[in-house]
């Protein structure tokens, strides 16, 4: 049986059901206890599972992420919440040199079955240190799976899969998807009551089309779908691929779609240079170049910090209008 849940409610339900199923699963991070998480994803967990399994931590990202790694090595299944991805810098050594590499450095004698959840994205005037995406940084480092859901249904299924995975998984949750009243956007959707899993590394075609392929993730899936509706009214049918995870990357779905539509637009809320958009373009250039009838186009954040000013932030972030214009220009090439 399905109900309508917000993105945040789907996240919370996934954690609750996994904590009920497996006593090794616990949550820790800043304000995850009585406060329920700054974006509402942890509401009700403290009251249900108590302070031994829902643990508020000091503002000490390096310490509590390191504690999570140690707990995972000892056989527990920690979910660690990094409030904003922008704060990862103070725990960079724990993430890049320990969480990602311990399995390799130990010759496979230790696994790190840990989920590091974090909030990403801008669009509400929170400036340069609270508005970044950055998932490409972590996708660049071997040893970390990178999951980026866009809907409540995907969020619940992918989070349960991540918790059950024996490898470290970073789980990126866009703030504007959460469904909170004080944010300028949110999503709701049907979510089954019972626990379920979705495969990591399998993209989802959110909209079928024949004239161009738009590859994207997270909030930009919704911006692309809105642009696709406008394009459709003009007779242009865009196929929207929601990657859902950057590592593993579903290259097959991308290449199959490009072979059908012969045009590719990549939409990314991360920075343009050295990021996801460049990786997708490289995959298609290497494996699907002769299927293209026009050069690959990329729409991403220019290489500047996210501005605090709303007009300037709107100027740098991809949106429905920019996607529509880029897609239309690509089809006309």
Name the 3-class secondary structure at 214.
strand
* Token pair belonging to 56: 């508020």
Question: What are the counts of helices (DSSP H) followed by strands (DSSP E) for the chain?
Answer: 12, 14
β-strands 212-216, 264-271 pairing: parallel
As a whole-number percent, the residues of the chain with pLDDT over 90 amount to 99
CB atoms within 10 A of CB 96: 17
Percent of the chain with pLDDT over 70: 100
Whether residue 130 lies in the annotated active site: yes
How many Å apart are CA 327 and CA 333, to the nearest integer? 10
* Beta bridge partners of residue 204, listed in sequence order: 242
Mean pLDDT over all residues of the chain? Answer: 97
Rounded to an integer, what distance in angstroms lies between the CA atom of residue 313 and that of residue 300? 13
Structure tokens at 260: 């059908």
DSSP state for residue 186 in the 8-state scheme: B
- How confident is the model at residue 46, as a pLDDT? 98
* For residues 212-239, average pLDDT: 98
- Quick one: average pLDDT of 43-61? 97
Q: Which two tokens stand for residue 125?
A: 């005037």
Residues in the chain: 333
Question: The pTM is what?
Answer: 0.97
pLDDT at position 24 is: 98
**For residue 96, is pLDDT > 90?**
yes
Distance CA 6, CA 266 (A): 27
- The two tokens of residue 84 are 């904003």
Given the residues 130, 174, 262, 310, the one annotated as active site: 130
Q: Tokens 């399995």: give the residue.
A: 103
Above 90 in pLDDT, residue 333? no
Calculate mean pLDDT across residues 261-285: 98
φ/ψ of residue 31, rounded to 5: 65, 25
Span 103-112, pLDDT tens digits = 999 999 999 9
């Amino acid at each position: 049986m399905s109900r309508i849940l917000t993105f945040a409610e789907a996240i919370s339900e996934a954690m609750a059901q996994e904590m009920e199923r497996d006593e090794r699963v616990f949550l820790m991070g800043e304000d995850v206890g009585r406060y329920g998480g700054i974006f509402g994803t942890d509401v009700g967990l403290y009251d249900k599972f108590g302070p031994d399994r829902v643990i508020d931590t000091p503002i000490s990202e390096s310490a509590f992420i390191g504690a999570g790694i140690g707990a995972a090595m000892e056989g527990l299944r920690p979910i660690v919440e990094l409030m904003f991805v922008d704060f990862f810098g103070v725990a960079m050594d724990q993430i890049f040199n320990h969480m990602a590499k311990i399995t390799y450095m130990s010759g496979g004698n230790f696994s790190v079955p840990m989920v590091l959840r974090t909030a990403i994205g801008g669009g509400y005037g929170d400036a340069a240190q609270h508005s970044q995406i950055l998932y490409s940084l972590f996708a660049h480092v071997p040893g970390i799976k990178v999951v980026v859901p866009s809907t409540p249904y995907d969020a619940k299924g992918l989070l349960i899969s991540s918790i059950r995975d024996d490898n470290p998984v970073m789980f990126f949750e866009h703030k504007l998807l959460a469904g909170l009243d004080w944010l300028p956007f949110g999503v709701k959707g049907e979510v089954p009551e019972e626990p379920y899993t979705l495969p990591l590394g399998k993209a989802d075609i959110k909209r079928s089309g024949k004239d161009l392929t738009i590859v994207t993730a997270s909030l930009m899936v919704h911006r692309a779908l809105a642009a696709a509706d406008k394009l459709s009214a003009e007779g242009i049918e865009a196929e929207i691929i929601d990657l859902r995870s950057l590592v593993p990357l579903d290259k097959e779905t991308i290449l199959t779609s490009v072979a059908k539509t012969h045009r590719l637009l990549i939409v990314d809320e991360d920075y343009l240079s050295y990021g996801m958009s460049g990786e997708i373009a490289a995959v298609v250039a290497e494996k699907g170049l002769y299927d293209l009838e026009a050069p690959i186009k990329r729409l991403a954040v220019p290489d500047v910090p996210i501005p605090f000013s709303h007009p300037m932030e709107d100027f740098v972030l991809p949106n429905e209008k920019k996607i529509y214009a880029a897609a239309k220009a690509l089809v006309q090439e």
